Amino acid sequence: MKCLYIPIEFTVRELDGYCLLASRALSRGVSVVIAPRYVLYDYLGSLPTGIFLLKSIRPAEIREIAMVKAFGHQVAYLDQESLLQYDYHYLTGQKFDDTTIRACDYVFALNAKHHDLLMKHVPSEIRSRISLTGNPRFDFCQQHARAYYHEDAEPYILFTTSFGNVNPHNGKGSQEFLRMITGLTKGQANLDNEIERVALNQLMLSRYRDLLVDLARQAAGRRIVVRPHLSENIQYWRDVVAPFPNVTVAPGDSIYKWLAGADVHIHFNSTTSVEAVMMGVPSVSLNIPPEYERFRLDACFDLSTVFDDQQQLLDAVLQRVLAVSPLSEGLLPEIASHDSSAAMMDAFIFQDGDHRFLPRQMLHTALVRLYRQWKHKLLTWNFSSSYHHRKIGRLNEAMLRERFHYLAMVQQMPAHRLSTFARHCLIVSPL
């Protein structure tokens, strides 16, 4: 039995792409387990050995990576969050360090720049493990998202926000974020970097709140959909738009669902701009203040129409004179020119997993207890149980069946069996 384990943190962001990967795995005789990360780790001692595909290998997560390896599993790393972030010092401080990346058996690069950066800087013994694959998430976005999510409705203005570090979902503010990030960030320089990022987002949150209010007033005859980031306090935005009947604050569904019905997308420094352009939706943004230029994600701005003046942005949106950036012709192939799922499956070397319970139950109990103690110390606004249940609780069998039914119609997907175990743990196996 060949097994691929996919721990999920954000269902609405990750599930579509992972279903595409799972369909490719099925065609190669591999069983796939898709489950919440914190649940999957509780069953490590009972799982057949396989490959764990992790989206996060932060320095502070070395314990759980070591726990996965201790039970004979291989570890693969596919970053979901560092798209277009090519500051290696940022990556090593926030996303991984030499210890965690050495623990990986496979490292997947999103595009040529990302690949070259990793090949240049990671320890030499890791370089043979790096593969340029892309990300199934963007394959789904470009190839399937509009067809899967499209609804026949009047196009609207999509206004996305990503200010979770200053508007966290529990309303505790930026100080709670900084307390959390202190435990996950390596080095004082990187912590100072995050403090400065908080200052930028506090400034831009205020500007975008004013922008949204002015937009709602000036576009009274048009529908506006506000889609906050999953980490944000959604009530904050509901209070802002309460006086405006033409504005809806969307729940945390897949961003593709909302992009599919939009005719323009307003954002700030967000990788959603890349996904918008992939789906043919023009993106606009206010410019980043010069003193915070180093936080600029270049491609996100290159793919957007950028304004220094708020009223100029509003005029362009209201007059419907915007178009997808011509730079997309050069930049998008770097991001979405791969058959990512096939490339990842080509890189994997599976061994048949042991069906029996592993004969190390005492070790398993000790390791899980250690993990839970470590996890308890990290329980902050971003890692709390309620936060994860809010994102993961909607992962269910019906949701998975719906996506696989669509993929079976549009591509030659093999016959499969879908079953469940534990809490929200879904298994898809070839017949």
- What's the average model confidence in pLDDT over 333-349? 83
Distance CA 264, CA 259 (A): 9
* Residue owning tokens 């200053």: 166
Return the pLDDT at 91: 66
- What's the average model confidence in pLDDT over 6-10? 87
Please check the confidence at residue 288 and state whether its pLDDT lies above 50.
yes
The full set of domains in the chain, from first to last, is 2-134+338-430 (no CATH), 145-334 (3.40.50.2000)
DSSP label at 66? H
pLDDT digits (tens, 9 = 90+) for 70-124: 988 999 999 876 655 556 666 666 678 889 999 999 999 988 888 888 898 888 9
**144-148, 261-265, 291-295, 373-377: lowest mean pLDDT where?**
373-377
Please state, rounded to an integer, the average pLDDT across all residues of the chain: 81
Please check the confidence at residue 372 and state whether its pLDDT lies above 60.
no
- What's the average model confidence in pLDDT over 330-338? 66
Three-state SS for 270? coil
User: Which DSSP string corresponds to 337-356?
Assistant: -S-HHHHHHHH----PPP-S
- What's the average model confidence in pLDDT over 211-230? 94
Edge-to-edge strand list for the sheet holding 106-109: 130-132, 106-109, 74-78, 51-54, 2-8, 30-36, 425-430, 416-421
> pTM of the full predicted structure?
0.83
Strand pairing partners for 228? 161
- What's the average model confidence in pLDDT over 12-20? 89
Pairing of strands 416-421, 425-430: antiparallel
Written in H, E and C, the secondary structure of 155-209 is: CEEEEEECCCCCCECCCCCHHHHHHHHHHHCCCHHHHHHHHHHHHHHHHHHHHHH
- What's the average model confidence in pLDDT over 329-335? 68
Cβ(272)–Cβ(330) under 8 Å?
A: no
Pick the closest to residue 241 from 226, 219, 261 (CA basis): 226
